[in-house]
Amino acid sequence: MPELPEVETVRRGLIPAMEGAVIARAGVNRPDLRWPLPERMAERLTGRRVLRLGRRSKYLLLELDSAETLLIHLGMSGRMLVSGMRIGAFHHAHPAPGKHDHVVFDMDNGARVTFNDARRFGAMDLMPTETAESHWLLKDLGPEPLGNGFHEAYLVARLKGRRMPVKSALLDQRIVAGLGNIYVSEVLHRTGISPTRLAGRIAAARVARLVPAIREVLGEAIEAGGSSLRDHRQTSGELGYFQHAFRVYDRAGAPCPTPGCAGVIRRIVQSGRASFYCADCQR
């Protein structure tokens, strides 16, 4: 499932096509994705201007001039693909309609944005912009890891006394929003912290070091266009490239890349999710 860097990459790719433009026509080709789509969705979107294209955690937020905001979750296989405009050095013509093109936005600037989702685990909802933060998918989210609300003192306080593995704590969206399995594994390796260590038993100074490491890893991943392991594509259709920089994720059996470490990357399962780490240099 796309994590924060993948969703942020998509957001940045959509801005030239959608922000400030009018949705000349919204085509809704089925009544539901993971859940039923909003009532009269095509009617409520057609003719509306996109004032701002934002992101909260792993959700895209299209703020409209109708005082409504469209929430989009990509799910496991959802893609937002842009055609009909120049992206970088290439002009992407409109492709033929695809079997899994469930929602299509034709913009007044000539761009077309297609939401394609083979597995239909994605989701969309329309909500009043004024109360968007109280939406049931957003109201309990913690601070953004790249925002000012996420800092060393905050994380130390939130992890203090917690009797759960630190990896589980960092995946808890109520503590910090947007982190997923890939990037937590990478962050823990960079900071030398074992994913199995209880969060409340990590010294405050070590917890504090997680904050800049999280920002560093996320920043590098965004610049690389995210990680394409199976379904993620940028809005141009291109792959992300951060998977080539993984130190531990999906590298079980490989030598640990930490200079001077003779360990080997291990794979364990925590709460149904694979964790990758080096037992020699992560304690």
CATH code (residue 124)? 3.20.190.10
Q: Does 113 map to a domain?
A: yes
Q: Does 74 map to a domain?
A: yes
Question: Are residue 177 and residue 121 in the same domain, yes or no?
Answer: no
Which residues are part of the catalytic machinery? 2-3, 58, 273
pLDDT band, residue 271 (cuts 50/70/90): confident
DSSP 3-state of 178: coil
Question: Are residue 129 and residue 166 in the same domain, yes or no?
Answer: no
Judged against a pLDDT cut of 70, whether residue 237 lies above it is answered with no
Which of 83, 101, 134 is the last residue before a domain boundary? 134
Question: Are residue 222 and residue 249 in the same domain, yes or no?
Answer: yes
Question: Are residue 178 and residue 110 in the same domain, yes or no?
Answer: no
Q: In the 8-state DSSP scheme, what is residue 58?
A: T
Question: Are residue 124 and residue 197 in the same domain, yes or no?
Answer: no
Rg (CA), the chain: 20
pLDDT band, residue 44 (cuts 50/70/90): very high
d(CA 99, CA 213): 41
Which of 100, 134, 168 is the last residue before a domain boundary? 134
Question: Are residue 31 and residue 110 in the same domain, yes or no?
Answer: yes
* pLDDT, the chain, mean: 91
DSSP 3-state of 140: coil
Question: Are residue 120 and residue 160 in the same domain, yes or no?
Answer: no
What pLDDT does 239 receive?
A: 47
Q: Does 140 map to a domain?
A: no
Q: Are 3 and 220 in contact (CB under 8 A)?
A: no
Q: Does 144 map to a domain?
A: no
- The region of weakest confidence among 42-51, 82-91, 214-223 is 82-91
Question: Are residue 272 and residue 201 in the same domain, yes or no?
Answer: yes
Domain range holding 197? 152-278
pLDDT band, residue 241 (cuts 50/70/90): low
The candidate with the shortest Cα–Cα distance to 182, out of 246, 244, 234, is 246
Q: What is the pLDDT of residues 31-42, one digit of tens each?
A: 999 999 999 999
The candidate with the shortest Cα–Cα distance to 129, out of 58, 50, 75, is 50
Q: Does 143 map to a domain?
A: no
Q: Does 70 map to a domain?
A: yes
Question: Are residue 125 and residue 232 in the same domain, yes or no?
Answer: no
Question: Are residue 69 and residue 172 in the same domain, yes or no?
Answer: no
Dihedral angle sign, alpha carbons of residues 108, 238, 217, 157: positive
Question: Are residue 192 and residue 251 in the same domain, yes or no?
Answer: yes
Q: Does 145 map to a domain?
A: no
The candidate with the shortest Cα–Cα distance to 175, out of 141, 202, 204, 130, is 141
**Between residues 1 and 15, which one has the greater pLDDT?**
15
Tell me how many domains the chain contains.
2
Q: Are 71 and 125 in contact (CB under 8 A)?
A: yes
Q: What is the pLDDT of residues 158-183, one digit of tens each?
A: 999 999 999 999 999 999 999 999 99
Q: Are 101 and 92 in contact (CB under 8 A)?
A: no
Could you tell me which residues come within 8 angstroms of residue 240 by beta carbon, excluding any fewer than 6 positions away? Answer: 5, 6, 9, 221, 224, 225, 226, 227, 228, 232, 233, 234
Q: Does 166 map to a domain?
A: yes
Q: In the 8-state DSSP scheme, what is residue 242?
A: G
CATH code (residue 179)? 1.10.8.50
Which of 103, 134, 165 is the last residue before a domain boundary? 134
Question: Are residue 48 and residue 88 in the same domain, yes or no?
Answer: yes
